[in-house]
Amino acid sequence: MKSNRIIGMKKYDLCVIGGGPSGYAAAMRAVDFKKNVLLIERDRIGGAGIYNGALSSKTFWEISKEFASFNKKMQHFDLPLPDFQFKNILQEVNQAIIERSEQLEKHLSLVIENHPELFNFVRGKARLKSKNDVEIETDSGNENIYSENIIVATGSRPRKIPSIKIDEKIIMTSDGISSLEEFPESLVVLGAGVIGCEFATIFSNFSKTKVHIISKDDRILPFEDPDLAKVIEDNLESNRVLIHRESVLEKMDIIDGKVEYILEHPDGTKEVFHAEKALISVGRVPNIEGTGLNEIGVELSETGHIIDDDTQTSVPNIFAAGDITADIALVNVGELEGRHAVEKIYGKPKRPIIYENISTIMFLNPEVAGVGMNEQQAQKLEINYRVASFDYRCIPRAVAMRNTQGFFKILVSDDDEMRILGLRAVGEHASSAIQAVALLIATNKGIDELAELIHPHPSIIEGIQECIRMILGKSIYKPYIFKDYLQFKCFREGKYIN
């Protein structure tokens, strides 16, 4: 599309639209290339990575986890439980947000101070007028700029359901959690994916809220393997969480200041339930409105995500990173994409982004971490594989922590190479145990490298080593002896072979 450039218009080498994790990372990587950069953010630096998203919810989870652990110990020693207020917990969450936000703002101001001729920041709303021209709406008026290259990183927001009136006070998305003043007596969560289950875990950990989860499937976390989901389900139900399995929400309304919802069960019967508050957790949608992307011809999916090829859009000088794309919506992935886009523009990346080895954490009870495929995914792709699982009860560090709930599960290719296809870790310290495996997946290597590596003792990651040794047929504990703790199977031609 031809650029209608205005004489005297400010010109930049790179314009980054969006100051969340993806955009901020992209702008800072551009500093390394000494390019003239403009970063535009309409609201707050850090985006959903800080506010109403990853940092805030994970701070909630950490506090709830500590509280649940403390409560368990107090009950074990028959000691009285402490009282606490929601406002104190919210204050701690807000303090974490403030610390991180101030840190980013300070860093941004110092970058501008150190590179006044190169780095620029504008608080405003950006709209693409052509492949190079950007109109910026600010409090002091509109401004037009010209940029050789553009990275779009406008992020996402919680998905809403048109038939449900969301007021962010009684019926909320994750954006409305901070509006709570007290623990609700009851909370219904619509959506049994990661975010829904995380908030169910958080509120049930405090033991002050009766939590309901509505799942359209026969279990929560339907994208994960049943053995993993069962551990989380059992813990939620032990915390008095009611899971509505295979239930379809027919209606949800605010009646007399509280939530009334009607579910249809698999047998066709309907039932009415009540809760003080509701949380709608049915995914997120890209912030595409008002960006001008559609108007200038950037190819979008039916859901409004930018269709990209290794961060490059259908318009050659326009790139995309983070939740605005159809790739994985995670902070670490968004940051990687933002940096990668800059490197594609001004450098020579060693390789395209590899999504197969991206590590994920689910902040549940217990913690869950994963990288690569699970069994469901491998079977869907009709891949033959070998799988071994090693129970936390056999790991000395877990025994020492007096917390032996969990397991490691590793999938490898069913051949002589035994390339690692995926890993799932469920239990204490799960997130700290997966990086070595992620590296092996990225390098397309087998498991021999980890089998005889000397791990620190006692440590949780020793469980991964024994899992690998089990596949190699040289584990200390033999799976045919400890059948309740260890498992080793092969999946070939659509069925398991022991």
pLDDT per position as a tens digit, 78-87: 888 777 889 8
High-pLDDT (> 90) share of the chain, %:
81
Q: Give the amino acid at 184.
A: P
Grade residue 2 by pLDDT with cuts at 50, 70 and 90.
very low
Angle between helical axes of 21-32 and 331-346 (0-180°, round to 10): 30
Sheet holding 385-391, edge to edge: 360-362, 368-372, 420-426, 407-413, 385-391, 486-492, 495-497
Cα 169 to Cα 15: distance, rounded to the nearest angstrom: 37
Whether pTM > 0.95 for this model: the answer is no
Instruction: Provide the b/e sequence for 54-91 (b: ≥16 CB within 10 Å).
Output: bbbbbbbbebbbebbeeeeeeeeeeeeeeeeeeeebbe
Q: Which domains does the chain have, with CATH numbers?
A: 10-49+93-157+285-346 (3.50.50.60), 171-282 (3.50.50.60), 366-491 (3.30.390.30)
Grade residue 4 by pLDDT with cuts at 50, 70 and 90.
very low
* Tokens coding 289: 């409105």
* pLDDT (average), residues 202-229: 96
* No. of helices (H) and no. of strands (E), the chain: 11, 24
Nearest alpha-carbon partner for 190 in 220, 145, 235: 220
Q: What is the pLDDT of residue 292?
A: 97
Nearest alpha-carbon partner for 414 in 454, 376, 367, 382: 382
Residue 1: pLDDT over 60: no
Q: Give the amino acid at 67.
A: F
Cα 335 to Cα 116: distance, rounded to the nearest angstrom: 24
CA distances 456 to 158, 396, 401, 465, 470, Å, are 42, 12, 16, 11, 19
Q: What share of the chain is helix, strand, coil (3-state, %, to 5)?
A: 30, 25, 40
Phi-psi group of 252: left, alpha or beta (phi > 0 → left; psi -120 to 50 → alpha; rest → beta)? beta
Q: What is the pLDDT of residue 492?
A: 95
CA distances 479 to 13, 355, 391, 394, 433, Å, are 60, 32, 11, 12, 22
Rounded mean pLDDT of the chain?
A: 92
Grade residue 75 by pLDDT with cuts at 50, 70 and 90.
confident
High-pLDDT (> 70) share of the chain, %:
98
Grade residue 157 by pLDDT with cuts at 50, 70 and 90.
very high
Phi, psi of 251 (to 5 degrees): -160, 145
Each as own residue / partner, the long-range contacts of residues 78-83 (CB below 8 Å, 24 or more positions apart, any chain) are: none
For residue 120, the Cα-to-chain-centroid distance in whole angstroms is: 30
* pLDDT (average), residues 326-339: 90
pLDDT top residue among 361 and 80: 361
The answer to whether residues 22 and 48 touch, using CB atoms and an 8 Å cutoff, is no
Number of neighbouring beta carbons within 10 Å of residue 190: 22
Question: Which residues are CB-contacts of 302 (< 8 A; sequence separation ≥ 6)?
Answer: none
Cα 264 to Cα 210: distance, rounded to the nearest angstrom: 21
Angle at 277 between CA 271 and CA 278, to 5 degrees: 65
Grade residue 234 by pLDDT with cuts at 50, 70 and 90.
very high
* Tokens coding 200: 């169910």
**Full DSSP string of 185-248:** SEEEEE--SHHHHHHHHHHHHTTSSEEEEE-SSSSSSTTS-HHHHHHHHHHHHHTTPEEETT-E
User: For 310-324, 345-359, 432-446, which range has the lowest pLDDT when averaged over its residues?
Assistant: 432-446
Grade residue 8 by pLDDT with cuts at 50, 70 and 90.
low
Q: What is the pLDDT of residue 381?
A: 95
* pLDDT (average), residues 432-436: 82
CA distances 227 to 137, 231, 234, 367, 389, Å, are 51, 7, 11, 14, 10
Q: Can you point out the beta strands (E) in 414-451? A: 420-426
